[in-house]
C-alpha cells in the first residue's frame, strides 16, 4: 500500500521509467509465451523448444538489469535523514523497492498474457482476433500452469535483484561513513582505485570470440533457432556471444577508469581534471552497463553484416527480442548515468557556490562522453568484425 501511495505522488519522469519497465516485462513475457505456444504445437520438437527458451533468456536478463537500474534511481527508495526513526531503514527501503519493481513487472506480464491470448483467438471481441493463431500455436491447448510460471520469471528475478542491489549499496555506504541515521555522510575521498576486472574481461572476450569462430564452422549441422524464423545460427554462437558480453561487462569499468586517466594526462586544466576524476570515481557504476551496450551493438553490427551478405529470414519475434535487448541495455546505461548525476548533485552545487561557471560543468560532461566514445568505439567495431568473419565465410 505504501508503494502505491508513493507512486501516486511520484514525478512523471519516474513514472515513465516504471512504465518502461512494465513494457519491457510485457515484451519478455510475450516472447516466453510464444515459446510455450510453439512447444505446445510441436510436441515432437522438444529440443527446438528448449533452444528457443534459451534465446528468451537474453532479453530477460536485459529487462532485469534495466529494472534494477530503475529501482536504484527511484527517489522513493533513496536513503534520507529521519526515515530510520519512522521504521524505514535500509531493509524496509529495499523491500519497498522490491514491491515497486514487482508491481511494474507484474503489470507487464499481465498485459503480455492478455495480448497473447487475444492474438491466439482465445479472447474475442477486439480487433485482430486470432491474427497470429498459426504463429502462436492456437491449434493446441495452452498449459495454464506453465504459462503462469514463465510469466512469473521477470517479476521474481527483478524484485529479488532490486532488493539485493539496494541493500548491498546501502550497507557499503553505511559501513564507509555512518551518521546518526545509519547512512554515510558525504565527504571528500581520494580517487577510486582502478578496477581489477580488465584482464579477466579481455580474456573472456577473447574466449567468446574463439567459441563463436569455432561454432560458425558447423553452422549448417547444428541449428540454433532464435524466437522467430532464424534457424541457421549454431548453438555455440549464443554461448560465445554470452562470454563476450560478460567479458565486456567486466572490462567496462577498467576501460572507463582508463578513459579518466587519459583525460588527466599531459598538463590538464581544471575542466579536464574534473572530468577525469568523475570518470575514475564512476568507472564501476557506468562501466558495466556501457560494456553490455558495446556487446549488444557489436552483435547488431555483426548481424547486419550477415544480413547483407546473404538471405537471413529474421522473423517478427526475432525483431522484438532484438529491440528489447537493445532498448533495455541503452536505457540501463542512461539510468546509471542519471544515478551518477544524482549522487554528484551536492558536489555540483558546491562548485557553483564556489564560483565555478556552469559552462565548465557542461564542458566536463561533454568531455566525459567524448572520451568514452573514443575508448569504447574501436573495440566494439573490432569485436563485431571478428564475430561476423567466421559466420560469413
Q: Which residues contact 214 (CB under 8 A, 6 or more apart)?
A: 236, 240, 390
Alpha-helical regions (H) of the chain: 2-8, 12-41, 46-73, 90-120, 144-151, 153-176, 198-216, 235-263, 270-281, 283-309, 316-343, 345-353, 358-392
User: What integer pLDDT is reported at residue 349 of this predicted model?
Assistant: 84
How far apart are alpha carbons 113 and 147 in whole angstroms? 8
Q: What angle do CA 130, 135, 138 make, to 5 degrees?
A: 55
Cell 521477470 identifies what position? 154
Q: What angle do CA 240, 372, 348 make, to 5 degrees?
A: 130
Burial degree of 200 (CB within 10 A; 0-12, 13-18, 19+): middle
How far apart are alpha carbons 15 and 75 in whole angstroms? 11
Find out whether 2 and 89 touch, Cβ atoms under 8 Å. no
User: What integer pLDDT is reported at residue 111 of this predicted model?
Assistant: 93
- Taking the alpha carbons at both ends of the chain, their separation in whole angstroms is 58
User: What integer pLDDT is reported at residue 225 of this predicted model?
Assistant: 44
User: What integer pLDDT is reported at residue 387 of this predicted model?
Assistant: 82
How far apart are alpha carbons 58 and 356 in whole angstroms? 45
**Nearest-CA neighbor of 241 among 381, 376, 387?**
387
User: What integer pLDDT is reported at residue 222 of this predicted model?
Assistant: 40
Cα–Cα distances (Å) from 62 to 20, 67, 151, 207, 327, in that order, read 13, 9, 16, 22, 9
Q: What angle do CA 245, 323, 234 make, to 5 degrees?
A: 55
b/e burial code for range 370-392 (CB count within 10 A of at least 16 → b): ebbeebbeebbeebbebbbebbe
Q: Which three cell numbers, joined as nine digits, stand for 160?
A: 529479488
Burial degree of 226 (CB within 10 A; 0-12, 13-18, 19+): buried
Q: What is the pTM of this model?
A: 0.82
User: What integer pLDDT is reported at residue 184 of this predicted model?
Assistant: 43
Find out whether 297 and 322 touch, Cβ atoms under 8 Å. no
Cα–Cα distances (Å) from 293 to 58, 249, 297, 329, 333, in that order, read 13, 9, 6, 6, 8
Q: What angle do CA 221, 323, 211 make, to 5 degrees?
A: 35
Q: Which residues of the chain have pLDDT under 50?
A: 175-178, 180-188, 219-232
Amino acid at each position: 500500500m505504501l508503494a502505491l501511495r508513493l507512486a501516486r505522488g511520484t514525478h512523471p519522469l519516474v513514472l515513465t521509467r516504471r512504465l518502461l519497465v512494465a513494457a519491457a516485462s510485457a515484451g519478455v513475457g510475450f516472447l516466453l509465451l510464444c515459446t510455450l505456444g510453439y512447444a505446445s504445437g510441436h510436441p515432437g520438437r522438444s529440443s527446438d523448444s528448449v533452444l528457443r527458451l534459451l534465446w528468451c533468456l537474453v532479453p530477460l536478463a536485459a529487462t532485469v538489469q534495466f529494472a534494477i537500474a530503475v529501482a536504484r534511481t527511484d527517489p522513493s527508495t533513496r536513503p534520507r535523514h529521519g526515515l530510520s526513526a519512522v521504521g524505514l531503514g535500509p531493509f524496509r527501503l529495499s523491500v519497498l523497492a522490491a514491491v515497486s519493481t514487482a508491481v511494474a513487472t507484474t503489470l507487464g506480464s499481465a498485459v503480455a498474457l492478455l495480448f497473447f491470448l487475444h492474438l491466439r483467438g482465445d479472447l474475442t471481441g477486439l480487433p485482430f482476433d486470432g491474427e497470429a493463431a498459426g504463429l502462436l500455436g492456437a491449434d493446441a491447448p495452452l498449459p495454464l500452469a506453465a504459462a503462469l510460471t514463465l510469466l512469473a520469471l521477470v517479476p521474481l528475478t527483478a524484485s529479488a535483484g532490486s532488493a539485493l542491489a539496494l541493500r548491498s549499496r546501502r550497507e557499503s555506504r553505511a559501513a564507509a561513513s555512518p551518521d546518526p541515521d545509519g547512512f554515510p555522510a558525504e565527504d571528500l575521498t581520494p580517487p577510486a582505485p582502478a578496477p581489477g576486472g580488465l584482464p579477466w574481461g579481455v580474456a573472456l572476450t577473447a574466449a567468446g570470440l574463439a567459441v563463436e569462430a569455432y561454432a560458425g564452422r558447423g553452422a549448417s549441422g547444428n541449428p540454433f533457432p532464435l524466437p522467430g524464423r532464424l534457424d541457421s545460427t549454431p548453438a555455440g554462437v549464443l554461448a560465445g556471444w554470452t562470454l563476450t558480453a560478460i567479458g565486456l561487462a567486466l572490462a567496462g569499468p577498467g576501460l572507463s577508469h582508463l578513459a579518466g586517466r587519459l583525460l588527466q594526462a599531459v598538463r590538464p586544466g581544471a575542466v579536464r581534471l574534473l572530468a577525469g576524476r568523475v570518470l575514475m570515481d564512476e568507472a564501476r557504476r557506468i562501466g558495466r552497463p556501457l560494456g553490455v551496450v558495446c556487446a549488444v551493438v557489436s552483435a547488431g553490427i555483426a548481424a547486419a553484416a550477415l544480413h547483407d551478405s546473404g538471405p537471413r529470414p529474421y522473423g517478427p519475434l526475432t525483431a522484438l527480442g532484438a529491440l528489447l535487448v537493445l532498448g533495455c541495455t541503452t536505457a540501463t546505461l542512461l539510468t546509471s548515468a542519471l544515478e551518477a548525476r544524482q549522487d554528484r548533485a551536492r558536489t555540483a552545487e558546491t562548485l557553483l557556490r564556489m564560483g565555478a561557471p556552469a559552462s565548465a560543468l557542461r564542458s566536463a560532461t561533454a568531455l566525459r562522453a567524448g572520451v568514452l566514445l573514443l575508448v569504447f568505439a574501436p573495440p566494439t567495431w573490432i569485436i563485431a568484425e571478428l564475430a561476423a568473419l567466421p559466420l560469413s565465410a
